[in-house]
Amino acid sequence: MRARRALAITVAGLAVFAGTAGASPIKWVSVDLGAHRFGQLRTPDRIVAHAGPSEIGFAKQGGHCGCGDGPRGPMLFDVAPNGSVWLLDILNHRLLVWQSGHPAGPARTVPLKGLDVRDFVLGRDGTVYLYAVYAEPPAGDSGANLWALKPSGQVLWRAHARIRNALRIGPSGVLYSVGVADKAGWTPLTTAAGRPLSVAKQRSSSTRSQPLRGGLHLVASQVGVHEVHFALVDRAGRVVRAWRIKSSTHVALADRVLAPTLKGDDLIAAVDVSRQAGAAFLWEHELVRLTPSGLGARFAVDAKAVYGDDGAEPITALRFAGDGRIYQLRTSPKIGASVARYALR
């Protein structure tokens, strides 16, 4: 309880600290991104999954799938620890699965008929977690919104959960929901062994920042239109390392539910850079590897690579893997769907 209280104090202190850096003992690592050059996008290292336009469902502009706020094509994917790629084909109510090293087409499908799936994530042991409800609930249905499936699609259990935006897996294998109490909050939904927690336990165990390995938490702050901060906080509430990122281009914390990851002592994260150019709005994701001494590597990817991305939530267009690799979903009714892989070397 004392460590959790200290962490809360530190989080609040960092928010105040944003405008008074000179008065704080925190030692900032400064990162200056300069002026962003739009259009210089990184070529993927590899395409790890692809489905042609006839293999996956797309709705025409203005159409919708009748589930949620109306996505017009695939918007959610994940990569399993064994390298297999999973994609939610939402209009066809199924998951498509590619074997690692075989990107040409999905090896199998997992039907999700009758379910309104808002998000999914893969557990370390292969469990598929769904944030879903029945589109037309059967008589007597409990309304439980958290599902745990075997990789084959067989239901392991269902439970009621406090879910707001998205599902994410924490460093110990615990399943979390992001954004329940506040936008940056993380609420545990399961134990590390994959068993559901009670709603009361979920509520009492929520944290205001992202948990990372080694007992660290990540605090991210938007300071202004040209500055964002990332800070690593330990169990005692002490700031272990903090980065002040500045850019002469408009920069913001990535507005998708991205989960930065640690690679050794480095933090792999993303910020959004944007600029109005006449009638056009330029917008890209800047991927950064933050080292103890500054900026280790960076590159940009298209922030508009997903067809029909008109603000429908949740969406998972990027995934940060624990091995330092980054995966991006790219979709179009003309070319289908693909998942690209990058590395921040």
CATH of the domain at 146: 2.120.10
Residue 14's pLDDT band (cuts 50, 70, 90): low
DSSP state of 198: P
Give the other-Cβ count within 10 Å of 34's Cβ: 9
Instruction: Say if strands 94-98 and 108-111 run parallel, antiparallel, or are unpaired.
Output: antiparallel
pLDDT at res. 157: 97
Q: What sections of the chain are H helices per DSSP?
A: 2-17, 199-204
Tens digits of per-residue pLDDT, 128-174?
999 999 999 999 999 999 999 999 999 999 999 999 879 999 999 99
Tens digits of per-residue pLDDT, 87-110?
999 999 999 999 999 999 999 999
pLDDT at res. 344: 85
Name the domain count of the chain. Answer: 1
Range of the domain at 269: 2-343
pLDDT at res. 72: 84
Q: Coil, strand or helix: which one is 74?
A: coil
pLDDT at res. 163: 93
What is the percent of the chain where pLDDT is above 90?
76
Distance CA 109, CA 74 (A): 14
CA end-to-end span of the chain: 39
Name the residue among 73, 41, 76, 80 with its Cα closest to residue 56.
Answer: 73
Q: What is the mean pLDDT of residues 288-296?
A: 96
Residue 4's pLDDT band (cuts 50, 70, 90): very low
Tell me the sheet residues that pair with 11.
none
Distance CA 194, CA 334 (A): 39
